[in-house]
Structure 1
């Protein structure tokens, strides 16, 4: 008997905090949370007369059910005329980290029609092209990663597996900086450290990053909005080194928070062509719309 299909991406009650909603990406819970967008209707207040009595009795019934759920009253006779009432402690149900079991709330983001040629970041309101030689991310620990090259290989230094290329998206947080060029420069440095120097679990897949060179830094249009791109070429102690790129631009949804799209690509004959990084950025679109064009929309490869 086959297992039930996983619920589609959307906002669901957080299993660890049911009063909030948490984003389920279709395979696992992410760290994105929000307050429910639709207020919970208030129960009607008793207004006297027969209807008020019925509502009061209903409330009393709910309280009784709650008492039964939270504890069981045990009557113990110790030989005296008065029974001793003792409340047995109940064990709370363990928290679950599995998929949600109820449908999305009425304010859940709509699930787009599945399109193998595009990857969707609903939180930041964009879609990205999945080019030949790439695929939607599968079996990756970082939920920000949307697209990867399909095959892995043994990392040349520390134990582990590496990929020839990745594309990740995130919301820019933790800073008041508004200058897109500065933000892209800082983000590409962080991305290079994680990809080619020391990763999130303290490993050095390539033995560390020896040097880097800025090979592109320019303004361009992303999803119809002005953004900024910075690309590094990095040299590593082991392996072929690679390219790291960060593009920062305003989202077209919500509060128009800044979005960062990070790309990494090994400088290896087995990796996709470097021009793919430009094609990916040029193909970013607002969710549910066309977009594109504008300042710097004609992007060519850089070495």
Structure 2
């Protein structure tokens, strides 16, 4: 059923009412207390009896008032909280009518709203605030950082390691021990007390473990690349990370099976909580199937604090 013309809660501005002309929304809006076109009576409601009808019409007039009030109940029962005014994929406004509630004007039972109400956003749901559902970033709530989700990268899928923030899309059969590998992973962890104090000391202490975890043995002891045969430091130095001074070390790792890869440990102080140092690890396969090495720098430049 299409609701009759009337004032209903504006789905784009819930604090206002908007005029529904029976087939489409108009541009007329008002504050709820502002007078406007009268709300039409519900179908079946009788018109008021003119004063000239005399005293003998008093009883009928009382009945009319009662029926008119019942009609108002019906109109009020029209789902004011469930008016859905969406947008289609190309941004055009979807002209969706208000949904009628189930109501009987002659019954004393309250109307039944069969449509679920639309949740009202809270101030904490601002579009500028990092969110795990934001397609542009991934969020590490523990360490208080966000990283940009670059093209070709996805949130972890079927990954057992809890500290992995993102991976390249898809898998392939590992060249060494049986299993499935990914061409790139990015993970983060909070530095331990014994790892060191300065970002430089932390990065230099972590890089060997980062390389072993990515290309030597996995968490269950398999060697997906047949083990590491050698490594070479290809780059290291200070790095600005989210407005903080950090340090990174990057290795080129050669493995017994496959093309090997690049591993980087990036250490910097967090800006949240106790400001414990954070270590972000990158592991990129070498060769044409691996992600662009420049993504390491792009990701580093894109790291932000969740407090920003």
TM-score band by shorter chain is 0.5 to 0.7
Q: Which one has the largest radius of gyration?
A: 2
Higher strand share: 1
Counterpart-to-counterpart distance in 1, 2:232 and 2:195: 27
In structure 1, the gaps of 5 or more residues are 1-109, 290-303
Q: Tell me how far 1:137 sits from its aligned partner.
A: 1.2
- The answer on whether the counterparts of 2:272 and 2:307 sit within 8 Å (CA) in structure 1 is no
1:287 pairs with 2:275: no
Counterpart-to-counterpart distance in 1, 2:226 and 2:195: 34
1:172 pairs with 2:191: yes
Residue 50 of structure 2: aligned partner: none
Length-normalised TM-score, structure 1: 0.58
1:181 pairs with 2:165: no
Counterpart-to-counterpart distance in 2, 1:281 and 1:275: 10
Residue 236 of structure 1: aligned partner: 255
Q: Deviations over 1:155-195 (max 9, x none)?
A: 00101110000000110014162122121012111010011
Counterpart-to-counterpart distance in 1, 2:257 and 2:137: 33
User: Residues 225 and 210 of structure 1: is their aligned pair in 2 closer, same or farther, counting only changes over 3 Å?
Assistant: same
Counterpart-to-counterpart distance in 2, 1:136 and 1:175: 30
Question: What does residue range 41-60 of structure 1 map to in structure 2 within 5 Å?
Answer: none
Counterpart-to-counterpart distance in 2, 1:112 and 1:280: 17
User: Residues 281 and 196 of structure 1: is their aligned pair in 2 closer, same or farther, counting only changes over 3 Å?
Assistant: same
Length-normalised TM-score, structure 2: 0.57
Counterpart-to-counterpart distance in 2, 1:221 and 1:230: 14
In structure 2, the gaps of 5 or more residues are 1-128
Counterpart-to-counterpart distance in 2, 1:220 and 1:111: 23
1:121 pairs with 2:170: no
Q: Aligned pairs, how many?
A: 180
Greater relative CO, 1 or 2 (CA 8 Å, sep 6+) = 1
Question: What does residue range 25-104 of structure 1 map to in structure 2 within 5 Å?
Answer: none
Q: Deviations over 1:34-82 (max 9, x none)?
A: xxxxxxxxxxxxxxxxxxxxxxxxxxxxxxxxxxxxxxxxxxxxxxxxx
Residue 119 of structure 2: aligned partner: none
Residue 225 of structure 1: aligned partner: 244
Runs of 4 or more off by more than 4 Å in structure 1? none
Q: Tell me how far 1:111 sits from its aligned partner.
A: 8.3
Aligned CA-pair RMSD = 1.4
Q: Deviations over 1:80-114 (max 9, x none)?
A: xxxxxxxxxxxxxxxxxxxxxxxxxxxxxx98362
1:277 pairs with 2:289: no
Counterpart-to-counterpart distance in 2, 1:206 and 1:266: 11
Helix, strand or coil at the partner of 2:287: coil
Between 265-274 and 242-251, the greater mean CA deviation after superposition: 265-274
User: Residues 212 and 176 of structure 1: is their aligned pair in 2 closer, same or farther, counting only changes over 3 Å?
Assistant: closer
Q: Deviations over 1:267-294 (max 9, x none)?
A: 02112211001100110001141xxxxx
Question: What does residue range 85-164 of structure 1 map to in structure 2 within 5 Å?
Answer: 112=131, 114-164=133-183
Helix, strand or coil at the partner of 1:195: helix
Helix, strand or coil at the partner of 2:147: strand
Q: Deviations over 1:192-219 (max 9, x none)?
A: 0011111221111111100000011101
Helix, strand or coil at the partner of 1:141: coil
